[in-house]
Structure 1
């Protein structure tokens, strides 16, 4: 049984949490609202595999403490799926540090927005040798010459596809990111 951490799992990545749990993986979900976690659990066959971590991820010390507790309870984290707002860069660095300190190989699927510069983000983050880092970039859909944001379901499905891709694919795009003027 794998231990997976999902950041952003009570919103647009809720179906990703369910997908992991329904495959009998332990899923730690960083959450602030108990109601949202309950909704995810009710839509999942393997409710007991979802472990909520109730913390504001901007509170770094509390976050690190809670992650270490989850590791003690559920085992080493083998995969992280992280949607972290661009103004909370220290959060992702902190998660990388805690998971890397396990001294075990792991994967990070970093979810980034459509306008993000994937190379610049990669350069900003320190990705240790025991981490396989991949990006999943969220785009948009063009329908009848107008662009629209992806739905939560489209996002989750695209993220799952990105996770299932071959290991040597550094960037997976969900929807499209060009042309940006649509």
Structure 2
């Protein structure tokens, strides 16, 4: 059986259920820093879920880990990357090791999607899509998205091949100075 090879960055946190779901039918290499969370994810699908314990902010370690993953399981067909702002060249390094992949870049609520896209270099064989995390307005309150809402939104982007998708809403005039970005 020739499975597709996926890379999920941040797949042990809010994307844990996505990792488990996709690893049912595909080879999934998952990047995470927490060994316990990683073990919990891998045990669900030990044959198809391949752990990379690495901090993506450590650029040399990230590059080496991605190179090993490609050597072991072949090139990435799809990348789903939740890479925080201020992570140096992590996203570009991921792109450089994903030469022919569909790349889904998950952005926090305050990110400028056009700026993020313009900061990256792609090749002709890559497809780049963005999923931006918003917030949910319920009656008189505002809340962050749940992990399930995020997973559903990412799966919808995969199915519909949207170039950009905002999950929830983005309200630029909300006082964001008192909140942390994802």
| TM-score normalised by L of structure 2 | 0.89
Question: Distance between the aligned counterparts of 1:151 and 1:47, measured in 2?
Answer: 26
1:50 pairs with 2:52: no
Question: Distance between the aligned counterparts of 1:180 and 1:111, measured in 2?
Answer: 22
SS across alignment from 1:77:
coil
Moved over 3 A (4+): none
User: CA RMSD of the aligned region, Å?
Assistant: 1.5
Question: Distance between the aligned counterparts of 1:157 and 1:81, measured in 2?
Answer: 13
Name the structure 2 match of 1:26: 27
Question: Distance between the aligned counterparts of 1:59 and 1:38, measured in 2?
Answer: 21
Name the structure 2 match of 1:136: 131
Name the structure 2 match of 1:147: 142
Q: How does 1:95-134 map to 2 (within 5 A)?
A: 95-100=94-99, 105-134=100-129
The answer as to whether partners of 2:57 and 2:88 remain within 8 angstroms in 1 is: no
Name the structure 2 match of 1:37: 38
| TM-score normalised by L of structure 1 | 0.89
Deviations along 1:52-84, one digit per CA (max 9) or x if unpaired, are 001111111111111111111111111100010
Q: Which ranges in structure 1 are unaligned for 5 or more consecutive residues?
A: none
Summarize the Cα distance change of 1:60–1:13 in structure 2 as closer, same or farther, 3 Å threshold.
same
More helix by share: 1
Which is worse superposed, 153-162 or 7-16? 153-162
Q: Which ranges in structure 2 are unaligned for 5 or more consecutive residues?
A: 176-182
